[in-house]
Amino acid sequence: MIEDFLQSSTSVSLFGVVVGLLVVYLLLSSFSSQERREPPGPRPLPLLGNLLQVDLKRLDQSLVDLSKKYGPVFQVYFGTKKVVVLAGYRTVKQALVNHADEFGNREVSPIFYDFNKEHGILFSNGESWKEMRRFALTTLKDFGMGKKISEEKILEESHYLIKEFEQFEGKPFNNTQAINYAASNVISALMFGKRFEYKDPVFQAMVERDNETIHLTGSVSILIYNFFPWLGPCLKNWRVVMKNIEAGKEDTRKIIADLKETLDPNMCRCYIDAFLIRKQTLEESDIKNSHYHDDNLVYSVTNLFAAGTDTTGTTLKWCLLYMAKYPHIQDRVVEELSRVVGSRQVRIEDRRNLPFTDAVIHESQRLANIVPMAIPHTTSKDVTFQGYFIKEGTTVFPLLTSVLYDEGEWESPRTFNPCHFLDNDGKCIKRDAFMPFSAGRRVCLGEGLARMELFLFFTSLLQHFRFTPPPGVSEDELDLTPVVGFILSPLPQMLCAIRRQ
């Protein structure tokens, strides 16, 4: 009896305490957000935040839906972590470009910390990031990024890619690997001073590991890990990612060691050489605490290799899928190519005379929307933005989906329509809301190279092949649903590459 009484009175008083705490929590949270005019957003539950109101499997889309209710600047809680979401072209541009400093820091979430320990370019901040980004930009330009030399490299690589496709003799195949290898070889030539054979097992492992890591980074379990990092060792995806990171570092260290052995300061062969020479010069002049240390070298190289492979490769896969899906558009591209260029090799200077082709590549990038939430940022200081107070260090998602599909900017946001990039005279035009590379301080560092690759690979492939669904599959049956990961890639599906003539 006494036990029963004690038990029921304990649970009643416990219940009272929980309700009391909840009321205080709700009062405090509504008071503080009124006081500092925080962005609006769905009311969070203790501990879970808004996790039950978003679809983690298609987070970008679910945040676009919330922006319809809460406006272009709103906040959501993932567990106890607050994230401010920026939606729509005007807002994203205003934040990333007009308030570039305030919105220009990188969020180093637990998984990004595991990746690079705040070194390198992608997941670092402050002076180290500034120096590494500047060095990467100038060095890649010195080695021809966006210039004639990289044009030659891409054209050489497109011949290997064409040969690879020819081996299938028009039969259906999955083009993912070959395309990733080609994109990877362009960045490898700049980073390591050499390309790899597609059959090289070390190269294959490097590309495949990155591909898997990028995919898993966007998985629900890694999203959960970011909010509850103590869960890490219990999550299979986290363990796979950690293994991949270690193996990637090991391979990169081996390549660096080989280049170091034959390093000649008078003959700089690649990015790694340039870094080693700079490091040596600084050490000789007795400069202490320079940012040119081994960790920054390894992580900058792995960053550029990963960022330069999957993104460009995935975009090219989308381009070919759209061509197979919309054969009348493919026909117009091919007609323009043969009228303007004929059977000779396409060069980068042909781009201005190929407006329809150029518009098709832009439209493919827009609709494919491969990096839907950019890479998360944080605020570098307290900022009042569109009347809302956002505290220093707050995580910010620039929702690129909401820019590339902004209903106020695009005539038919959800359909493949190259006319988005054509004026009445058929010239290819720039559109402000075309932001697949993001904008501002953290804008993609490889934009120039990626655009050159997309143009040259795409046109070379279309000169040689007609892309179609496999026999017995209609264009309508080609599936445009993306596989959700950190980047959005097409579902693995077969296409035919049928030799022209």
CB of 106 to ligand HEM, least distance (A): 6
103 or 168, CB closer to ligand HEM?
Answer: 103
CB of 300 to ligand HEM, least distance (A): 8
CB of 312 to ligand HEM, least distance (A): 4
> In whole angstroms, what is the distance from residue 203 CA to residue 196 CA?
7
Helix (H) / strand (E) element for 388: namely strand 388-390
Calculate Rg over the CA atoms of the chain.
Answer: 25
130 or 269, CB closer to ligand HEM?
Answer: 130
CB of 13 to ligand HEM, least distance (A): 50
> In whole angstroms, what is the distance from residue 171 CA to residue 166 CA?
10
CB of 389 to ligand HEM, least distance (A): 22
User: Which residues of this protein are in contact with ligand HEM, per CB under 6 A?
Assistant: 106, 121-122, 133, 187, 303-304, 307-308, 311-312, 315, 370-371, 374-375, 398, 436-438, 442-446, 449-450
175 or 438, CB closer to ligand HEM?
Answer: 438
* 105 CB-near residues (< 8 Å, 6+ apart): 125, 377, 378, 379, 380
CB of 48 to ligand HEM, least distance (A): 27
CA of residue 307 relative to chain centroid, distance? 7
Cα maximum dimension of the chain: 96
Shortest-Cβ-distance residue relative to ligand HEM: 446
End-to-end CA distance of the chain: 93
206 or 450, CB closer to ligand HEM?
Answer: 450
CB of 134 to ligand HEM, least distance (A): 10
313 or 355, CB closer to ligand HEM?
Answer: 313
Token couple for 247: 């193996």
> In whole angstroms, what is the distance from residue 400 CA to residue 311 CA?
15
188 or 468, CB closer to ligand HEM?
Answer: 188
39 or 446, CB closer to ligand HEM?
Answer: 446
Q: Map tokens 């890694």 to a residue.
A: 222
Contacts within 8 Å (CB) and 24+ apart, 94-98: 94/385, 94/386, 95/385, 95/396, 95/398, 95/440, 96/377, 96/398, 96/438, 96/439, 96/440, 96/441, 96/442, 96/443, 97/439, 97/440
CA–CA distances in Å: residue 161 to residues 255, 295, 297: 24, 33, 30
> In whole angstroms, what is the distance from residue 9 CA to residue 5 CA?
6
168 or 458, CB closer to ligand HEM?
Answer: 458
CB of 294 to ligand HEM, least distance (A): 19
CB of 346 to ligand HEM, least distance (A): 18
CB of 53 to ligand HEM, least distance (A): 25
Token couple for 397: 């998602």
Q: Map tokens 């050159």 to a residue.
A: 452
Q: Map tokens 């990169």 to a residue.
A: 252
Token couple for 113: 């910390």
Q: Are 425 and 114 in contact (CB under 8 A)?
A: no
> In whole angstroms, what is the distance from residue 192 CA to residue 241 CA?
24
122 or 333, CB closer to ligand HEM?
Answer: 122
106 or 232, CB closer to ligand HEM?
Answer: 106
